[in-house]
Structure formats: C-alpha cells, structure tokens
Amino acid sequence: MKTFTHLCTPGIQKQFPARMQQGFSLIEVLVSVIILSIGMLGAIGMQTTALQANKEARNQTIATIFARELAEKMRGNHTTAIKTTAATNFYLFDTVLASPADVASFTVNCFTLGCPLAADAAKWDVADWQTRVQAALPNPRVKVCFDKNPYDAANLPRWACTDDGDVAVLKMSWTRQNTAGTLELAASSAIPVVILPLTAGSTE
C-alpha cells in the first residue's frame, strides 16, 4: 500500500494511507442522497397525516361547540323548541350548507329589531347559526329531529329519525379530505360525525 509522509510537528512524522486523501465517490454521494430523500419523504408524510388529523379534530370540536350553542338557543325558546313538526318548530331541519344560499331564511332580524314572537326568534336563531356553521365547516350537513334511536343495529350513527320521542337530536357531518387533500367522504353521504341531544320535547 502506498503511503505518504506528513509532518505534523518538526521531528515527528506520521504515515497515512493514500486512500484517506481521496474524497467520496459519486456512487457514495448518490446513495447518501437517496437515503436522505427517503427519510425526508417519510417525515413529510407523517407531518401531513398529523396536520390532517389535527384539522379533523378541530372540526369535531367546532361542531360540538355549535351543537351546544344551538341547544342553548332552543332552551331559551322552549315554547317553540318542544313542538314536534317542522311546520311549527323551525329548529327542526335537514340541510347541506354548501353555500350561503343554503342558509334558512328569516322574517325579522332579531339583532337589530328584536323578536317579540317566538317563531320569529326561532327563524332568526337558525339562520344566524347556520350562517356561522357554513363558514366554519366544509360543506356541513346538519339535521335536527326528534329521534328515539339515533343509532342503527350495528350501533353506528344514522341520519334516519323516528320523528317522535321526547328529545330533539342534532346530527352533523362535513366533507372530509384525505392526507393528499382530495375528497374522501362527502357530508351528504357520510354517517353523522356528531350526535348530541339538544332539548326535551313533547309528543302531545
């Protein structure tokens, strides 16, 4: 093996293999780059998945907050909320809020004019609530109905309602995306993500 002499200090000689003077070969560099790239791609994939999971958790939290808010509105307007038909109880609805045009209409702006009538207050509550839900969640579907059994035989949440019973139930879902950012499940076809009882009613 060839050697060379390197003087570190006067009078001291060290011998090193000539191979140690050579740099990395092109193949070694390429292999290192490939390994580093694979590691970075894995890290990016994990981060994307974590971000999507955080987004979904955030949407569930937002939906739960909105559900509780609607429950409070219904308790505050109990005389309307206990009615069991959509013709008289404006808190009962089933809609996909894909755009502001899908928001329920109202008769009187209770914020500026006040609503002495319980029916007008209910219409305003629903319109105001739906407007904010539509802006906060991606294409949400919301259904409020009286339902004795919101779960099917497999114990999965369902959109169908018995339309009787003593409790108004809110069911909500929204359009979800996969980690690639593409549509995974539309709100209109997904099972409800959130189911919460809102207020006691009456079947009389």
pLDDT of residue 171: 94
Q: From CA 30, how far away is CA 36, in angstroms rounded?
A: 10
Which one, of 142, 131, 126, 144, lies nearest residue 187 by Cα? Answer: 142
For residue 134, the number of C-alpha atoms closer than 13 Å in the C-beta half-sphere is 16
Kindly tell me if the per-residue pLDDT of 137 is higher than 80. Answer: yes
Which alpha helices (H) appear in 118-192, and where do they start and end? Answer: 118-136
Determine the residue type at 37: S
Q: Tell me how many degrees the CA angle 120-203-151 measures, rounded to the nearest 5.
A: 100
Q: Name the percent of the chain lying above pLDDT 70.
A: 73
Kindly tell me if the per-residue pLDDT of 151 is higher than 60. Answer: yes
* Assigned token pair, 69: 């808010």
> What is the helix, strand, coil percentage profile of the chain, to 5?
40, 20, 40
pLDDT of residue 181: 57
- For the chain, the average pLDDT equals 80
Query: Contact, 135 vs 172, CB < 8 A?
Result: no
- First CA to last CA distance, the chain: 102
Q: From CA 48, how far away is CA 170, in angstroms rounded?
A: 31
Phi, psi of 14 (to 5 degrees): -125, 145
pLDDT of residue 4: 45
pLDDT tens, position by position, 158-174 = 999 999 888 899 999 99
Averaging pLDDT over each range in 3-7, 18-22, 40-44, 179-183, which range is the top one? Answer: 40-44
pLDDT of residue 204: 45
Q: From CA 10, how far away is CA 142, in angstroms rounded?
A: 86
| Extents of the domains making up the chain | 61-200
What's the pLDDT band for 7 if we cut at 50, 70, 90? very low
Kindly tell me if the per-residue pLDDT of 203 is higher than 50. Answer: no
pLDDT of residue 15: 54
**What is the DSSP-derived secondary structure letter of residue 87?**
T
pLDDT of residue 132: 95
Kindly tell me if the per-residue pLDDT of 62 is higher than 90. Answer: yes
- Beta bridge mates, 199: 168
Listed range (24-28, 92-96, 144-148) with the worst mean pLDDT: 24-28
Kindly tell me if the per-residue pLDDT of 14 is higher than 70. Answer: no
Kindly tell me if the per-residue pLDDT of 189 is higher than 70. Answer: no
* Assigned token pair, 135: 């802006």
pTM of the model: 0.70
pLDDT of residue 140: 92
Cα–Cα distances in Å, from 130 out to 63, 66, 84, 156?
Answer: 12, 9, 20, 25
